[in-house]
Amino acid sequence: MYRTKNCGELRIADVEKNVTLSGWVQRARKMGGMTFVDLRDRYGVTQLVFSEDSNADLCEKASKLGREYVIQVSGTVRERQSKNANIPTGDIEIAAETLNVLNESKTPPFTIDNNTDGGDELRMKYRYLDLRRECVRKNLELRHKMTMEVRRYLDAQGFIEVETPMLIASTPEGARDFVVPSRMNPGQFYALPQSPQLFKQLLMVSGFDRYFQIVKCFRDEDLRADRQPEFTQIDCEMSFVEQEDVITLFEGMAKHLFKTIRNVELTEKFPRITWHDAMKYYGSDKPDTRFDMKFVELMDIMKGHGFGVFDSATYIGGICAKGAASYTRKQLDALTDFVRRPQIGAKGMVYARVESDGNVKSSVDKFYTQETLQQMKNAFAAEPGDLILILSGDDAMKTRKQLCELRLEVAEQLGMRDKNKFSCLWVVDFPLFEYSEEEGRYMAMHHPFTSPKPEDVPLLDGSDIGKVRANAYDMVINGVEVGGGSIRIFDSSLQNKMFRLLGFTPEQAQQQFGWLLDAFKYGAPPHGGLAYGLDRWVSLFAGLDSIRDCIAFPKNNSGRDTMIDAPSKLEPSQLEELNIALDIKENKIIS
């Protein structure tokens, strides 16, 4: 038997027991006539002691153990003289009597420690070693616990987990598809699912009533800290439900996760905000509401006083940073540089401090009377010591998005984005369509299967379909969209109309979605659902900055797995088998 106990379970009550442990050598050090070895496994670290007095050879052998050697040790548990309060096994040690080296190890390329000396790239290349570090392993343990709780909750609510296929046909859902060539059907490709959207809807037509699946989804998008080319969704669908039913059930699931995983009891209903208000007050459809700092529009107050930048603007708006009037000129210049970065694109920033006597001192004082500045101050309900920051522009939406970045940055600087504080909300009433300048047409904001609000259906025949609101909802926590869904169209003629409005000819709609439209003719029930992003939930609960750290084997920002070196070229014979001839443009090769 390799072990009778693991490296995390022995306590003072086990003193005098004979035990056998197996694990990895964290470190071995010789001190006086003893060798101390920290033995590690998934469960913890236990100190082993080899003494010269009882077995000089063994003590010598132990002192030669390299980092990450795999060993098996038998011995007696005894109380430590100098205890280590930092680890659960810190009261005891093993007086080792035997030592069996099960496997040697090359010196690892970085220290297997929470505070490792390994950089990101190195850690990803040797991810299997990185995963030995407690802080990374903990994230995967948390992930496991969360999926267990998700299954427990959904099972109790009558949901059935059903697997849907990975090799499907390309469908438009907003992102680019990853495709897989078909050997048996030369020239034809499968697509990997961006989500199981249509299959889950078909399962509703089949009468499954409540479906879920913890499922890999694939989107070929540019990557960011909260995006990976393959990611995991908790995908759900229900029949005979309205928006309120879905929201209630999944708010319940969120509360269940908060309770069981973070021990946070959320008793209040999550607040709701319309998409329109989210954009107006936060410049984002996923506002971080851990702090207030809502936008205040200033067109009425600030326009028309001779300050050219504002006079030519179609939007002037600002935020009030409580207690930040002490910001130095240098800090304000840095904020101006921040909003001017090309990624944000503002032209400049105006600031105003509310001084201790209530007077307002701004960077544009020469254009405004103190009376106007006071009006502005009142619009923010600003008080002495507050700092007002204002942006303007000729495109309201764009300027609001810039102001959103500024709001987040200032909140970060003021320590208002505490990772242990959670603020949940639902964003509702999304527009059904979004105009794409690139495509020169309206696109579905969520996806083409989302239903319009019944009262807005007549607007579908009008000239401004941008005004139609969808039965769609997103859950947002701390500025992260952790899930979203909608009530679906279940009527084939409305679905046909939707395709038409999205620019599909009847033939194209029939060719791509004929099977769905047909299915809807066989008694499709009213249905709707939602998908939660598992990776985002885990990283939120673990307090991580990137979802990468809660994925066992993630891709880097260029979509590569540097450990296995994927993606990679195919052998000519494989290409031949697939009936594929490559014609790669030199300028398209990135690495």
Q: Which residues bind ligand ASP (CB under 6 A)?
A: 195, 197, 484-486, 529-531
User: Residue 205 or 321: which CB sits closer to ligand ASP?
Assistant: 205
Give the shortest CB-547-to-ligand ASP separation in angstroms.
15
Residue 67: phi, psi to the nearest 5? -60, 135
User: How many Cα atoms within 13 Å fall on the side-chain side of residue 489?
Assistant: 24
Distance of alpha carbon 363 from the chain centroid? 38
> From CA 341, how far away is CA 345, in angstroms rounded?
6
User: Residue 164 or 197: which CB sits closer to ligand ASP?
Assistant: 197
**Is the CB of residue 37 less than 8 Å from the CB of residue 47?**
yes
Give the shortest CB-572-to-ligand ASP separation in angstroms.
37
Give the shortest CB-384-to-ligand ASP separation in angstroms.
46
| In 173-278, beta strands by DSSP E | 179-181, 189-191, 210-218, 230-239, 272-274
Give the shortest CB-228-to-ligand ASP separation in angstroms.
14
Strand partners, 391: 317
- Continuous segment of H or E residues that includes residue 18: strand 18-31
CA distances from 346 to 107, 161, 330 (A): 50, 47, 18
Give the shortest CB-536-to-ligand ASP separation in angstroms.
12
**Is the CB of residue 312 less than 8 Å from the CB of residue 347?**
no
> From CA 353, how far away is CA 130, in angstroms rounded?
48
> From CA 21, how far away is CA 39, in angstroms rounded?
8
User: Residue 195 or 402: which CB sits closer to ligand ASP?
Assistant: 195
Q: Which residue has the tokens 């084997």?
A: 553
Q: Which residue has the tokens 């790669």?
A: 584
- DSSP codes joined into one string, 310-375: HHT-SEEEEEEETT-TT--HHHHHHHHHHHHSTTT-----EEEEE-TTS-EEETTGGGS-HHHHHH
Strand partners, 218: 230
Give the shortest CB-448-to-ligand ASP separation in angstroms.
11
Residue 305: phi, psi to the nearest 5? -115, 15
Give the shortest CB-231-to-ligand ASP separation in angstroms.
10
User: Residue 410 or 531: which CB sits closer to ligand ASP?
Assistant: 531
User: Residue 404 or 472: which CB sits closer to ligand ASP?
Assistant: 472
User: Residue 90 or 529: which CB sits closer to ligand ASP?
Assistant: 529
> From CA 556, how far away is CA 123, in angstroms rounded?
11
User: Residue 89 or 201: which CB sits closer to ligand ASP?
Assistant: 201
Give the shortest CB-114-to-ligand ASP separation in angstroms.
34
- Kindly tell me the sign of the dihedral angle through the C-alpha atoms of 146, 149, 153, 154: positive
User: Residue 233 or 478: which CB sits closer to ligand ASP?
Assistant: 233
- Continuous segment of H or E residues that includes residue 578: none
Q: Is 61 helix (H, G, I), strand (E, B) or coil?
A: helix
Nearest to 390 by CA among 398, 381, 400: 400
Give the shortest CB-449-to-ligand ASP separation in angstroms.
8
Give the shortest CB-197-to-ligand ASP separation in angstroms.
4
Cis amide linkage into residue 172, ω under 30° from 0: no
User: Residue 165 or 304: which CB sits closer to ligand ASP?
Assistant: 165
User: Residue 378 or 436: which CB sits closer to ligand ASP?
Assistant: 436
User: Residue 129 or 236: which CB sits closer to ligand ASP?
Assistant: 236
Give the shortest CB-529-to-ligand ASP separation in angstroms.
4
Angle between helix 506-519 and 197-205 (nearest 10): 50
> From CA 414, how far away is CA 466, in angstroms rounded?
38
**Is the CB of residue 431 less than 8 Å from the CB of residue 468?**
yes
> From CA 193, how far away is CA 531, in angstroms rounded?
14
Give the shortest CB-249-to-ligand ASP separation in angstroms.
13
Cα dihedral 453→455→459→461 (10° resolution): 90
**Is the CB of residue 70 less than 8 Å from the CB of residue 77?**
no
User: Residue 351 or 520: which CB sits closer to ligand ASP?
Assistant: 520
User: Residue 90 or 484: which CB sits closer to ligand ASP?
Assistant: 484
**Is the CB of residue 237 less than 8 Å from the CB of residue 527?**
yes
> From CA 25, how far away is CA 67, in angstroms rounded?
5
User: Residue 318 or 529: which CB sits closer to ligand ASP?
Assistant: 529
**Is the CB of residue 259 less than 8 Å from the CB of residue 146?**
no
Give the shortest CB-196-to-ligand ASP separation in angstroms.
7
Give the shortest CB-487-to-ligand ASP separation in angstroms.
10
